Chains A and B, each alone.
Chain A
């Protein structure tokens, strides 16, 4: 079945709050880390380069050593005191930076070169080369590096070059693994496949297409490898395995340790060299860590982020939109279970203007009714659904309007009360059951958990779980299996069974059939349809698929750019669509009754919530837009029954839309 948009719902799931609302702050924060690290490193490099001029003494010249000069405490002449041979600690500290940085730089270069070569060859050529190389890497990875380095240096003659080479050749495994996986993933990108298809040579593909994408990662990795190399160098020097003719920090610590600084109480011979090592290594790790986060951003807020906003003090319409009363209830005589009035959702992050993700949404859901929420990706469908459950990520919440569930206002409810209500009254079937089920707990266990949460004294849990699974057509033998042992469709049905565990009144289903094959989709929808009829469940179905809506929904909410474009009973919407967006959606959807009709995709894409057009949100893509549409936001017009449309054209020309051929329900 075709979808309106194959792109996943980046609006919410792509982490809109992190990516769009806060890019500068985030980049700055991570860069701040990187900047600080770079500052530490630069100052160390400067000290090493300018050692001749800034060091107070000449490192080679031994002073007139008298007894007082040995381990002399810090004084005006020797800011950091003297060591066992009466040498100035500060001078040695500055000159010591040279060895650390030289070894760090060249050794990490060797490591990254070996690791990079092995990783690239393994990732790019695959096959036997990859197997052999990666097996070799795994083998070397488990050999402890410091003992190996000690053995290697001890067996050769200690010297700067030897130390560099040895540290270089024990530290490449991490790079090899990293580069291999990155090369592998780049290799499968479309542009590489395309280059290969037109006959580009391996070398050309590597140099032109793969290296540019692998290099930034290697650069960051180099900085981290360097920090390890510097630590290893200091340890080897401390063990006396370094070039005795050059002062290094590890060597200073070696003489402090072996020549009585500890018993002499000469902390000044002990602390500064270590501080020097920390200075440089911390510089590397901060730089690497900061850069890595910029290069490879991770969603910084998660589902349990503690900075969760509390409910607003007053949940009244604040934004100046005329409050729309919900239209008449012609759908059924059944009682209203969920009544949403003028709900608006904002994402807020400190230092940024709030992001209006959903504005002024109103609808009513009756017992046994199925409401389809449709619209392209990024129109706020999932945001709306999660906001009703108050499950939005940090910073996202309903800022105005009311959400009444069987009479109680959810917006003003306390967190604890809300948690008691979740699943008991409102359950969710998420988009991908594979990721929505915990992979390391059995399906039955996860269903039982939901029951026990809301009915702590429930008995015969096992039997109830079996019954629930049976209801969605899953055999009793499957109860104690793990999600990965289920097929895709079964997982989704198990998710539905779990959602029904506490007999909720409202079920939210977020694209429950995405990524399932057609037969399984039909199965799932069938289960949903049957259950709501049998159990009187009210269902809010978020979907891309108009065919599904036509088939099983009673009413439809069309969302565009965070607002309701049109809200109507399913017949009215398909046969008398009033909003141009709805009509465009229908035209983009194949109709079996009109096989000759042309499928027309809507050009452009929905607006991002941080760049909303000043007028009607659909105006830039609307075929019928007038100058008024571009300038002024339309209000919601109530037509007959509960048919609502947010469009200027409805008032100016009520005949709009009549040109559309009736859509026949299948």
Chain B
């Protein structure tokens, strides 16, 4: 099993969700996060006062899938989240040791 963690632009969430739906991904965890990478924060001046955005709002998606499916999922996310501009985000892939469904106790691929 692989865990895929993607940081994307907020307005791309629906596109990514749809793209993953198409390949039968049923569930995911979404969080509203803030941070910066190469796309730095910026400041705006309004009537002489400075307003700094040092951490840029992004969406984090977490999905655990069967290892065989990981490449497809990554590709789908990449396609859907791509605008060609800075700040499009990053995708990380981790190996997952075990998954357990709390209600039934099922494990491994059955639990995801």
Partners in one complex: no
B residues sitting closer than 8 Å to A (CB atoms) are: none
A residues with a Cβ closer than 8 A to B are none
